[in-house]
Amino acid sequence: MSSENQDHPQQHIQYFWEDLPVGKRIEMGSITVDHDEVVAFASKYDPQPFHLNDAAAAKSMFGRLSASGWHTCAMAMGLMVRNFLNESSSLGSPGLEAVKWLKPVYPGDTLTLFQEIQDSRPMNSRPDVGLTRTLWEMFNQHGEQVLLMDGWGMFRRRERGEGRSDTAG
Amino acid sequence: MSSENQDHPQQHIQYFWEDLPVGKRIEMGSITVDHDEVVAFASKYDPQPFHLNDAAAAKSMFGRLSASGWHTCAMAMGLMVRNFLNESSSLGSPGLEAVKWLKPVYPGDTLTLFQEIQDSRPMNSRPDVGLTRTLWEMFNQHGEQVLLMDGWGMFRRRERGEGRSDTAG
């Protein structure tokens, strides 16, 4: 019986729960931080002076304009969605066990995200779903880690006979 | 000797570390979720179909358009900054111990944020700074909790003889 997952048309799914074993590490791509977007994000969601303008930032503990930590998380999510989740059977996330803002993020920085599967188990209440615990690590162009996140994701499991899309006949 | 904290002009500081004892609970205000902003945020940072358009969302597990969990966090931060952090001696946050997305957030929802101090201790490496561990709880207009966050903040301590701004002569 063919499945009909309306969130994730079957032909686009590269990653079911079974394709995410413990230890698997995937690069999620890179993004360069844009100065005006740093200010725009902060204006709406984190209007602390040192995220809003260069003059205030120069006098702050950061020394120059830095991105909101929430903007850093949002940029990581953008990479995660575009390079992984939209090609997966993801059913969302109940939350995170940790977020660590390890270094400031500055306009012009190029950030690269990796995810690594830390834990994986079937979901007892839903036999068609599995849980994964994933470490997210983002690094700047100097190789310094700027962000760590540790969170849970829910993924639909492959049905019997349901192969990878690239090998299905 | 008067302090000169360039991030936080002294006259604006209502909350130093000493003003945030364990058990203190503060309402951080409310925000109504805007449909177009939900879509704009998701387009940049979380372009999963069910956050982008009503038709795709109607067919998804959520049943209708919902905000990105990261957008919910960002809205909470906006309330926290406008109603608390910009009037405090905040020196930023090293990170969070938990983020839980407990219920979907929909356009038109009105969200109200509370913070409660869970723990408080001096920072060993910096005698002028204290740490607080804060629970963030956000509820929708039905009284349902939609978000829980548990994180650390760093606040400058009041100097000897440095009073509240509203009582200083």
Tens of pLDDT, residues B61-112: 889 999 999 999 999 999 999 999 999 999 999 999 999 999 999 999 999 9
> How many beta-carbon contacts under 8 Å exist across A and B?
101
Cβ A71 vs Cβ B41: under 8 Å: no
Instruction: Output the pLDDT for position A162.
Output: 60
Indicate the pTM of the whole model.
0.89
The pLDDT tens digits of the residues spanning B111-130 come to 999 999 999 999 999 999 99
Which residues 127-156 on chain B approach chain A with CB closer than 8 angstroms? 148, 151
The predicted model gives B33-45 an average pLDDT of 98
What residue segments make up the domains of chain A, in order of their start?
20-156
Which two three-digit tokens encode residue A55? Answer: 């003059």
Q: Would you identify the CATH topology of the domain A20-156?
A: Thiol Ester Dehydrase; Chain A (3.10.129)
Q: Which of A48, A50, A100 should we substitute to test contact with B (largest number of B Cβ atoms within 10 Å)?
A: A48
pLDDT exceeds 70 at position B14? yes
Hey, is the C-beta of B4 within 8 angstroms of any chain A C-beta?
no
Residue of chain A nearest B96, judged by CA positions: A99
Band (pLDDT 50/70/90 cuts) for residue B168 is: very low
Q: Measure CB to CB from residue B101 to each of A41, A93, A100 and give the nearest one.
A: A93
What pLDDT, on the 0 to 100 scale, is given for residue B12? 78
**Domain B21-156 listed as CATH 3.30.365.10:** no
Flag whether residue B86 sits within 8 Å of chain A, measured between CB atoms.
yes
B20 three-class SS = coil
Nearest C-alpha in A relative to B56:
A7
* Nearest-neighbour CA in chain A from B47: distance (Å): 7
B68 touches chain A (CB under 8 A): yes
Cβ–Cβ under 8 Å, residues B91 and B7: yes
Residues 6+ apart with CB under 8 A from A9: none
Q: What is the pLDDT of residue A134?
A: 98
Taking phi first (over 0 means left), then psi (-120 to 50 degrees means alpha), and beta for anything else, what does residue A63 get? left
List chain A pLDDT tens, one digit each, 169 residues: 333 344 544 457 999 999 999 999 999 999 999 999 999 999 999 999 999 999 989 988 889 999 999 999 999 999 999 999 999 999 999 999 999 999 999 999 999 999 999 999 999 999 999 999 999 999 999 999 999 999 999 999 998 656 554 443 3
Q: Which residues of A touch B90 (CB under 8 A)?
A: 48
Give the integer Cα–Cα distance in Å for A68 and A66: 7
Helix, strand, coil percent values for chain B (each to nearest 5): 25, 35, 40
Asked if B7 and A61 touch (Cβ cutoff 8 Å), the reply is yes
- Judge whether A161 is closer than 8 Å to chain B, CB to CB: no
pLDDT in tens, B131-167: 999 999 999 999 999 999 999 999 999 986 565 544 4
- Side chain identity, residue B116: E
CB spacing of A81 vs B47 below 8 angstroms: yes
Reported ipTM: the value is: 0.89
**For residue A20, how far is the Cα from the chain centroid?**
15
Sheet holding A145-156, edge to edge: A25-32, A110-123, A126-139, A145-156, A95-101, B95-101, B145-156, B126-139, B110-123, B25-32
